[in-house]
Amino acid sequence: MGDQCTLRLVRELRQVEQSEQLAFTIYYEESNIRDIQALIIGPPGTPYELGFYEFSIRIPSDYPANPPVVKIRTTNRGRTRFGPNLYANGKVCLSILGTWHGSRGEQWSPAQGLESVLLSIQSLLSSNPYTLEPGFDDNERANDTENMEIYKSKIRHENLRLAVITPVEQAFQTATPPRRTAPRVGWESSTEEDSDHELQLDLDGFPIQSKFGDFCKRRFLWYFEFYQNAIEKGIADEARRQGTPFIQMPFEGYGNSMGGEWNYIALQARLLAVRDQVMEETNRWAIEGLTLVKEDAGIAVKLRGRHEQIAAEMNSSPQVIDLSLVDDNPFVWRLTYVGRNESKLEGGIIKIKIHISPRHPEEQPRVFIEPPLYHICVSKMGVLMYLPSHAEEIGQHIDGIINTLEEDNPPYNPLMTVNPEATALCWGSELDRRLYRRKLRASLEDS
């Protein structure tokens, strides 16, 4: 790869990392920037809603003359085709990638780049994926509304099973190589004997480790209520299909299909188990942290020093009442904050608990409001959704927390809300918005 091409790729990587686009994130090694892993979050309002879809992206040596080579990794080990253009073997059919013939304006050109590739892939996670099948314009199939609905139904189920629950379950598994098994193809059951807990394996039978484990755990906590609501709706809407096999679509074939069965009841149990695992891990950080304090470990010393610095800096802030260590543990901070004047939080005292991992910044803090506020960025579990400007610096997390709470009129972004009920009111009618403000004030008075 020539110097100019390398410089361009570096620039594109930085643009993606600095983008305000919340729907995808990337990972790469500085020593090999041509091998990129990407995670795209399924767009709200689609059957792929809030699922974690992983892709591998290989940049060719003659880039940007030729497009990247992209494979989808969320395939249930080669068993599941997640859409007409997302094959079970990993192939991504897309004109911009040269894997599907399209019109002249849809094909790759050197003017395009990494972000346009990610956005094009995201477009495949559509609200009606059945229509993306080539040849759909045929009148008979265009009126095939029954199959359209069935296809969306089974994608919704497998999105929760394979793109939400399974990635978080796998993030808790160790790197110990599992027993070697040949990948299975064709129709597969989604019952408990189906091993979707297993890690993805490479050609030598060793696990391919996802780089997005912590990302998925944090987003899982953020969006938990949405997932829970989706499963409850699935139990109600698909009661007649419970335990029955998925119906094969006309374009699906052996080895390249979405096989399985509707079983939302099993998904509900797994979802709650995963939530408990994430919460147990969060609480375990404090115990691990105290051990590191006793050992006088570098991260414990550093966090205590940063706490002292940040607490001193915030002494002049009228909004911060206190920033202390819980039980003198530098891995658990408590921020007591008072809402600023003329804001929706005015006069309210908010208690915020910040859990910091012993592996920070590889694992990012998890933040809880105690007791929970009725707020678009606070879940019923009290989980606060916020974004720091620099994830490596703990002080930027404090700033991100305060900025999120202080923002009175945020632009609508479904990926930046974690309370479905509060969200509907906040961006509803004028009466809805008034009710939202009343409920927020009531929760402040109870805090």
Contact criterion met (CB below 8 Å) for 348 and 444: yes
Say if pTM beats, i.e. exceeds, 0.85: yes
**Predicted confidence band at 186 (pLDDT cuts at 50, 70, 90)?**
very low
pLDDT at 194 over 60: no
**Mean pLDDT (whole number) for 124-128:** 96
Q: 373-387: per-residue pLDDT in tens?
A: 999 999 999 999 999
- The chain-wide mean pLDDT, for the chain, equals 89
pLDDT of 200 > 80? The answer is no
Domains present along the chain, CATH in parentheses: 3-131+145-172+211-276 (3.10.110.10), 296-446 (3.10.110.10)
Estimate to the nearest angstrom the gap between the alpha carbon of 445 and the chain centroid: 33
In this prediction, residue 184 carries a pLDDT of: 35
Q: What is the pLDDT of residue 362?
A: 95
pLDDT band at 180 (very low <50, low <70, confident <90, very high): very low
| Greater model confidence, 191 or 45 | 45
pLDDT band, residue 178 (cuts 50/70/90): very low
Instruction: Give me the phi and psi of 326, to 5 degrees please.
Output: -75, 120
pLDDT digits (tens, 9 = 90+) for 344-357: 899 999 999 999 99
Q: Could you tell me the pLDDT band of residue 342, with boundaries at 50, 70 and 90?
A: confident
pLDDT band of 100, cuts 50, 70, 90: confident
Active-site positions read 93
Amino acid identity, residue 388? P
Specify the pLDDT at position 99: 87
Structural contact between residues 100 and 121, judged by C-beta atoms closer than 8 angstroms: no
